[in-house]
Amino acid sequence: MKLIIFDLDGTLINTLEDLANSGNYALAKYNLPTHVGAQYKHFIGNGIDKLIERILPIEERNREKIALVKETFIAHYNKHAQDTTQVYPGILELLTYLRENNFKISVATNKYHDAALTLVTKYFPTVDFDLVLGHRENFPAKPDPAIVEQTLQTLAIKKENCYYLGDSDVDMLTAGRAGVKAIGVTWGFRSEQELRESGADFIINSPQELHKIIK
Q: How many CA atoms lie within 13 A of 89 on its CB side?
A: 4
The separation between CA 211 and the C-alpha centre of its own chain, rounded to angstroms, equals 21
Four-way CATH pick for 16-80: 3.20.20.140, 1.10.3720.10, 3.30.300.130, 1.10.150.240: 1.10.150.240
Quick one: average pLDDT of 82-103? 98
State the pTM of this model: 0.96
Question: Do residues 115 and 78 touch, judged by C-beta distance below 8 A?
Answer: yes
What does pLDDT average to over the chain? 98
pLDDT at 55 over 90: yes
State the pLDDT at residue 215. Answer: 84
State the pLDDT at residue 122. Answer: 98
Residues 6+ apart with CB under 8 A from 95: 105, 124, 127
CATH code, 3-14+85-214: 3.40.50.1000
Phi–psi pair at 70, nearest 5 degrees: -60, -45
